[in-house]
Amino acid sequence: MKKTYLYSLASLVAVASLVSCKSKSGTSDKTGLAYNKKEYGGFQVNNKFKRGPGPGLVEIEGGVFVMSGSAISVPGEELSNYNHKRETTVSSFYMDETEVSNTNWLEYLNWIRTNYPTDYEYYYTELPDTLVWRSPLSYNEPYVDNYLRHPAYQDYPVVGVSWEQASRYCEWRTDRVNELLLREQGYMTSFKDLNGGTATGAAATANKTKEPFNSILYQNNQYDDKGKRAMKDLNPGAAATATPGSNSTAATRNVRLEDGILKQPYRLPTEAEWEYAALGLIGNTQYENISENKIYPWNGLGLSSAKKKTRGLILANFKRTKGDYMGVGGSLNDKGGLTVPVRSYLPNDFGLYNMAGNVNEWVADVYRSKTFEAADAFNPYRGNFYQDKKIADPATGKLEIDKHNRPVMVPAISARKQTWAEKQASSAATAQSGVDSLGKPLTQNTYADQRGYRDKASDLYGETTLITDKSRVYKGGSWDDQAIWLNPAARRFMQQDESTASLGFRCAMTMLGASEIRSFGKPQFKPKNQKAFNGRKR
């Protein structure tokens, strides 16, 4: 079957317009009141919403697959290297086209150094551990000194990064992407005006104090910076404030979630998402029929190309034998003694590079050998840790922030929506005491998967094994692994605060709205025209 990549750049706009869920009418079909009109109450509805991926991401259309269905049986291998085979459905989502590179991470470090020049602890904490290259019986000292910073390795995947560091990078990336979007589109003061010294008012104050942008605080109206194209507030009760550089006297406001402008948070992919994306079975699927299964992100049973022009070329960066990392001089097989650039080899049918080999990749899940025997069949994930934003001022709803201008998070107080009375009783003082309004520990509902409770009752995780609540899954195989680990079903674990020279990561993002990405050319139900129901003719 001829394989085609599912998502071409040229089709993104058309795709977004087809799948966006919105009310095309400017009038409520339930009350008859017009949207986006001040005289009707100023209720604003974005009826031109078009979704799309954030920078660096490609679209992954979800669907059903057999978790661990690609597992290959090797004599002597433990069954814990694979998941329990189970039919699983994954929602559509976005995923990084490549692994996060050294340049990407240096950009992060540069931002920290620029915005917090005297916070040496912050910078040091986010430095990758370059000492992971050291081995007592190997001369790897040049990589200790050069791998992260030298331009020879700028497009190579960052390593020596812990799960915790990778998660914080995702949070930082979310804020940078949203800030760029808001400033470039004029909802906030542009970077040119802000850094050129022409900003006025609150924007100038924020620039002077070097207050970093945070998406959550911005949506909570704790970041007052209105650009030339700031959103108009049509609420009749809104106070009229002039936008700097604009002749309009209409009231303006920050962009809200309802406007559909801000991107969803970047995050680590779940284990199910990662395995589904790595397999890329969509390239072998037609009318729900899978013509050929895979044991690697490419078709076939071999590890080298079968095409005439590239016959014999290795399809990933891995270790062929215990001592063969790159082949014979003059005819190198995978062309990499250690890692290789993040855009190496052929991408899989989703357009993702190096989903096998190069570096292993962190995923979001907490490791348990039997997770998928009990996990939900829809978007399975183990690792939920529910938190609430800590309120600094209950009267205004202002959030408490830490020294890096990020909202302070506390363990979730309740597993359900509280009544108004319960909410008022759960004051800041109560939260500090560690119990909720009913006197129950705040951590009671924090771990929804009950790890640390049922686990200890049966398998004694963390007491008789090395597996604890901080054990995180990684997948994909690396330059330092043999071919068995290239299978997307293979899984291992490491403590979330540890790192190695063969472990990196890539980010993901939740896709909102309809799961189908490409609907054109496919049979569709056509709902009757709304006007036919509103008119007299039926």
**What secondary structure letter does DSSP report for 307?**
S
Task: Find the angle CA(441)-CA(473)-CA(59) to the nearest 5 degrees.
Answer: 105
- Please state the rounded mean pLDDT for residues 487-494: 95
pLDDT tens digits along 198-247: 655 555 555 544 689 999 999 999 988 999 999 999 887 765 555 555 54
For the chain, give percent helix, strand, coil, nearest 5: 25, 15, 60
> How many angstroms separate the CA atoms of 285 and 116, rounded?
50
pLDDT of 453 reads 62
Reference 189, options 223, 227, 139, 151; nearest CA is 227
* Choice between 351 and 239, residue whose per-residue pLDDT is larger: 351
* Choice between 283 and 175, residue whose per-residue pLDDT is larger: 175
> Exposure pattern of 346-376 as b/e (b: 16+ CB <10 Å)?
ebbbbbbbbbbbbbbbbbbbbbbbebbeebe
* Choice between 396 and 450, residue whose per-residue pLDDT is larger: 396
> Exposure pattern of 43-66 as b/e (b: 16+ CB <10 Å)?
bbbbeebbbebbebbbbbbbbebb
3-state secondary structure 43-65: CCCCCCCCCCCCCCEEEECCEEE
> How many angstroms separate the CA atoms of 292 and 322, rounded?
31
pLDDT of 122 reads 97
Torsion angle defined by CA atoms of residues 475, 60, 174 and 216, in that order, rounded to the nearest 10 degrees: -110
* Type of residue at 167: S
Please say whether the beta carbons of 217 and 398 come within 8 A. no
Q: What is the mean pLDDT of the chain?
A: 85
3-state secondary structure of 112: helix
Whole-prediction pTM: 0.88
> How many angstroms separate the CA atoms of 263 and 344, rounded?
28
In this prediction, residue 69 has a pLDDT band, given cuts at 50, 70 and 90, of confident
> How many angstroms separate the CA atoms of 282 and 64, rounded?
11
**436: pLDDT strictly greater than 80:** no
Reference 252, options 289, 217, 221; nearest CA is 221
What the block records as the tokens of 312 is: 């014999």
In this prediction, residue 522 has a pLDDT band, given cuts at 50, 70 and 90, of confident
* Choice between 371 and 134, residue whose per-residue pLDDT is larger: 134
Lowest-pLDDT range of 21-35, 65-79, 143-157, 311-325: 65-79
Nearby residues of 54 by Cβ (< 8 Å), 6 or more positions away: 94, 177, 263, 264, 266, 509
For residue 177, give the H/E element and its range: helix 163-184
